[in-house]
Amino acid sequence: MANSLLNDPEILRELIMDHYQYPHNHKLTEDASYASVHMASDSCIDDITVQSKIEDGVIRDIRFDGVACTISTASTSMMTDLLKGKKVEEAKGIIDNYFGMIDAKEYDPDVLEEAVAFKNVYRQANRIKCATIGWKAISQMIDESEKES
C-alpha cells in the first residue's frame, strides 16, 4: 500500500469499517488440532475466541469469532490475513512491529500492510485493548507452540 494512502484518514477509516463489516477468517472450527484462546475485555464488549493451526514452525491458519467492537473485529481480521501462512519467526516480527506502533514507538509500516490503519490508536488509551486483543491471543498461541516443539 502506498505511503500516501496510509496518511489519508478516510482510507484508514474505510479499511477499518470494511474489516468490521466483512471480517476475514471469521468462523471457528471444530478441528481439535487447532489451538484456541478465549479473550474478553473488562472495559468493552470484546469477547472473542481466536484459533490457530501452527505446524512445522508455520502458521497454517488463523480464525476467530465472538462479539467485539469495530476496532477489535477489524484489527483481528487484519491480523489473520497478515499472519496466515507466515513462519513463526516472521509472524513474531510482524507482531512486535504492531505492538511498537500501538505503543507509539518505532515500527515499519510496510510490514504491517493494512494494519497500519490502527497507527493512531495510541492516542485513545481506552481503545488500545480493543486493537490488541486478537494479537495477544495469537502471541499466546505462538508461545505455547514453541514450548511444545
User: Would you say 122 and 141 are in contact if contact means Cβ atoms under 8 Å apart?
Assistant: no
Q: What is the pLDDT of residues 14-30, one digit of tens each?
A: 999 999 999 999 999 99
Interatomic CA distance for residues 117 and 16, integer angstroms: 7
**Residue 120: closest CA among 133, 107, 111, 110:** 107
* 1 has pLDDT over 50: no
* 6 has pLDDT over 90: no
In this prediction the pTM is 0.94
Interatomic CA distance for residues 116 and 107, integer angstroms: 10
Residue count (the chain): 149
C-alpha cell at 81: 490475513
Q: What is the pLDDT of residues 44-102, one digit of tens each?
A: 899 999 999 999 999 999 999 999 999 999 999 999 999 999 999 999 999 999 999 99
**Residue 131: closest CA among 84, 69, 50, 61:** 69
